Chain A
Amino acid sequence: MSTGVTAPRSERTSGVRGSLTQRDMAVLQPMGRPSRRFLLVTGAALIGVLWFAQAWAFQLRHGLVVTGLSDWGTGGGVPWGLYIGSFIWWVGIAHGGIVVSAAVRLFGLRTLKPVARLAELLTLAALANAGLYIIVHLGRPDRVVTSILPNLGQTIRTSPLAWDVTVITLYFVLTGTYLALTIRHDLHEIRDRLPRVFSPLYRIVLVGYRPGERPKAERMAWWLALGVIVLAPLFLHGGVIPWLFALLPSQPGWFGPAQGPQFLAAALTSALAAVTILAYACRRIYRWHELIDDRVFDSLSRWTGLFALLYLWLQLQQVLTGSAMAPDAVASASAAKLASPVFWLAIVMLAASVAHAGIQALSPRRFSVGRTATVAVLPVLAILAEKTLFVIEGPMHPAFELYAGMPSYYSPSWVELSSVIGALSIVILVFLGAAKTLPMIELEEAER
């Protein structure tokens, strides 16, 4: 076994209680008494979650008839819509986190280290939302455990949805373990400064902690990061998630080998943009201008632009092969995509993100952190729109071309739209909670 890429460090000695550096103090600053603004935001996020909860309760009571979905074919609608689009979106955003963090650990991408833990937390929150969306999407969510688990041995052989559930679970466990491993040392170091209210929580996280475990924990985290870097692109957003669609020849808009790379490019774009927004929010709110310095945003802007460009290039490949001399069913699916204003809106937003990153890279004096964060909203929204469009356009333009004579239509209902508000509120709540309970930047970084 080798840890050659980044050797685990153990230069920190324990027992630095009471002697934290000024930077460490800055990292811990959000942990104090909640401000009025904090309570207001928490209240708003709670209302968002409750609003979604009552919408979901309404759906559970009356069935999925309260959505804008219907059957495809003669049913005049689509059976998958915003729920699945959001699911793809959240799994994509979940990448940001862990891929940023894993890249920091494996490839020594030190510039992004200050946002690594923020990104890990985003991964956990986003994955929780992805899992939630699978459940919300179901007609019989009460049967998830009783129907899926006992039959997994059989369904895992052919059902991309069974792979999907498996990989998401695996990913969640990996990320959670990774975060726990890397945060134990920090929590132990500052155990006297942690809020007493949450001490049972800390006792759970720190169970069995010994100061000498750090090198071992670092090594484990290194291997976990390697696992994540291999798994996420190959088997999650570059694999299982697009395979849900790309393996189905029944819907030509979905079928094809480029879906994997294109999903991955979309995921990384939206994820890096989401990390940018988060980092900016934390920097503004907690005045972490030195902890999360301009270089972080410069780097995030370039990476976001690069992956957005990659996405546009892959989209071009699909448009070209789908239009020029394509089989009839493929050509009509492509034509429908190209005729959709939502598609072009997404493309323009992503192109703007590429252009912005390019201009900043070529002309550093035009660099602006605020603008970078504002522009980062574009790819995040663009990917949600494009993925939802992608989901509904599959069954709208099937291989069975007689259905072309039956117009289908989809518009998300208030229940479905409420879920988007709810999911965003969940992420905000996770971060509000984290701000009060954890060091959101690794203390080691703060110390230097």
Chain B
Amino acid sequence: MSQGEAVSVPTPEMDEKMAERLDGDDPQTLWETRARAVLEGSGYDIELGQHVARDAQRVIAGELSGEEFGRRYHNAYLREFGRDDRPDSPDAADRGSEGGTPLPEPPRVMTRREVLGALGGAAAGVLFLGELYRSGALDGPAGPKPGSAAGVAAMKTTPVQFGMVIDLERCDGCLFCVDACRTENGLSDGVLWSYVFAFQEPDDDRTRFLVRVCQQCTQAPCIKVCPTTARHRRPSDGLVLTDYDVCIGCRYCEVACPFGVNYFQWGDPATYGGTFQGQRRDARGVAVAGDPPRGVMGKCNFCPLRQDNPETRGVTACAEACPMDAIHVGDMNDPDSAPNRYLAQRRAESGGNLPTFRLLEDLGTEPNVIYIGSPPSSRAELVEGPVAYEAWEFTENRRVVLDGPKPWFRRIGAQP
């Protein structure tokens, strides 16, 4: 395993920019170089772009107010683009929700599945549980317990909903995010909470990438199908998490999730490359962090312990490690959050023609990860990325490392 070796350069193909970063160059200089590279060829004012981008970072860092940021470049924007669609522009108030700010949440209408669920639940409830409900016998033992805190919030949507904006136009497939995730969570072999697909479309030689993390769906199927409330939504930031103390390991969340982000703990983590030693419990005291113990489900969780800490809130291990600054984490309901600001900035840069998508949106799970770039078509084919998983010593196909111990009757046969 390569935990702790994350800063070694795994292959000669690795991008120069990363090498620079690893050599300890000033990230700010590096960042500006990259911004210039992106802006060149756009046909727009490079100086303006760099200034705006730098100040946008200062806004995120809290060094500059959004209002001041909006005022500062308003005239320059109008000169350069003929419009200023930024959420902070002085016109934003008149525009309401048009332009770069996300649309307000539509009113909650029951989906088909919810209606069915309610019907099935009601039928079963009337037949079997009605009396028990009324008597309160099913409320469980009194007093706090690990599951109940999670359970109460399990189904509800929350005012704060963390998500990501992932810029696939920036992603170069370096797998730093995948490795940072492994290190942060001490993941077992073959467990890839963060995974980067490299693929090509027919008649196009360009290799494209898709960074697959948990989509933190608003209508999360994994939460709905969980028979225990172990899979729940945390009230403080809307993160979809697993309570490791409650999960029974039925793997229903895994088959219900369309994105394939769940990884079960089939054996003892220590036997299968797991190295997690850190703190499991979040600020509520619920065990949600790190490679899960044997027999329960794990998945990308947006580093919940970091989100509990005001100093690290809004940063995940993968976002921190990304040398391309392609991953932006924060509250998707807040137009002023880092991901929404980044999105607005990119929209502005693109003159309003920024391609964005959410994964498998037609399945109705309402993912809270927005990708900048084009979604893979149904004819997209996986290709070898610029950096191989083997180069980082990752096991891609977990099944090959899930060999259980030999049973006694095979040991007897093998001994003579």
Contacts and interface: CB of A to CB of B under 8 A. Distances in A.
Interface residues of A, number: 77
Interface stretch (B16-24, B62-70, B225-233, B344-352): B225-233
Given A79-B262, A159-B227, 9 more contacts: A64-B264, A74-B397, A75-B260, A75-B397, A235-B120, A235-B124, A250-B363, A398-B260, A402-B210
Interface stretch (A14-22, A143-151, A439-447): A143-151
Contacts of B9: none
B381 A74 contact: no
A148 B120 contact: no
A388 B120 CA distance: 25
Interface of B: 113-114, 116-118, 120-121, 123-125, 127-129, 133, 138-141, 147-148, 151, 154-155, 190, 192, 195, 197, 199, 210, 221, 223-230, 246-252, 254-268, 272, 294-297, 359-360, 363-364, 376, 378, 380-382, 396-400, 402-405, 407
A66 interface: yes
B121 A157 contact: yes
Contacts of B221: 248, 250
A89 to B, nearest CB: 18
A399 B260 contact: no
Contacts of A400: 258-260, 359-360
Nearest to B295: A139
Contact of A63 (B118, B141, B266): B266
A210 to B, nearest CB: 28
A137 B228 contact: no
A66 B405 contact: yes
A367 interface: no
Contacts of A247: 113, 116-117
User: 10 tightest CB-CB pairs across the interface, nearest first?
Assistant: A139-B249, A73-B260, A150-B140, A139-B295, A405-B382, A65-B267, A250-B258, A66-B404, A76-B397, A70-B399
Interface in A379-438: 394-395, 398-403, 405-406, 408-409, 413-415
A316 interface: no
Contacts of A408: 399
Contacts of A70: 266, 398-399, 402
B381 A147 contact: no
Contacts of A250: 221, 255-258, 363
B116 to A, nearest CB: 7
Interface of A: 55, 58, 62-67, 69-77, 79-80, 134, 137-141, 143-144, 147-163, 165-167, 169-170, 231, 235, 239-240, 243-244, 247-251, 328-329, 394-395, 398-403, 405-406, 408-409, 413-415
B402 A79 contact: no
B294 A147 contact: no
B117 A157 contact: yes
A340 to B, nearest CB: 19
Nearest to B247: A140
A147 B224 contact: no
A158 B225 contact: yes
Nearest to B378: A328
30 contacts: A63-B265, A67-B266, A71-B262, A74-B398, A76-B396, A77-B402, A79-B254, A134-B250, A138-B248, A139-B251, A143-B247, A147-B248, A150-B138, A150-B141, A153-B129, A154-B154, A156-B129, A158-B117, A158-B224, A159-B226, A161-B252, A163-B121, A248-B225, A249-B363, A250-B258, A251-B255, A395-B255, A402-B376, A405-B199, A405-B381
A306 to B, nearest CB: 28
B185 to A, nearest CB: 15
B225 A161 contact: yes
Classify the secondary structure of A's interface with B. helix
A401 B258 CA distance: 10
A329 B246 CA distance: 34
A73 to B, nearest CB: 3
A342 to B, nearest CB: 19
Given A138-B248, A156-B125, A406 B382 contact: yes
A161 B210 CA distance: 32
Given A70-B402, A400-B259, A161 B120 contact: no
A154 B140 contact: no
Contact of B264 (A74, A139, A401, A415): A139
B225 A139 contact: no
B295 to A, nearest CB: 3
Contacts of B364: 249
Contact of A72 (B113, B116, B255, B402): B255
Contacts of B297: 139
A72 B261 CA distance: 9
Please indicate which of the listed interface residues A63, A141, A143, A160 has the most CB atoms of chain B within 10 Å of its own CB.
A63
Contact of B121 (A62, A150, A151, A158): A158
A162 B226 CA distance: 8
A163 B126 CA distance: 12
Contacts of A138: 248-250, 295
A150 B227 contact: no
Please indicate which of the listed interface residues A162, A165, A413 has the most CB atoms of chain B within 10 Å of its own CB.
A162
A161 to B, nearest CB: 4
Contacts of B133: 153
A392 to B, nearest CB: 10
Contacts of A73: 259-261
B114 A158 contact: yes
Please indicate which of the listed interface residues A138, A141, A147 has the most CB atoms of chain B within 10 Å of its own CB.
A147
Contacts of B210: 402
Nearest to A69: B266
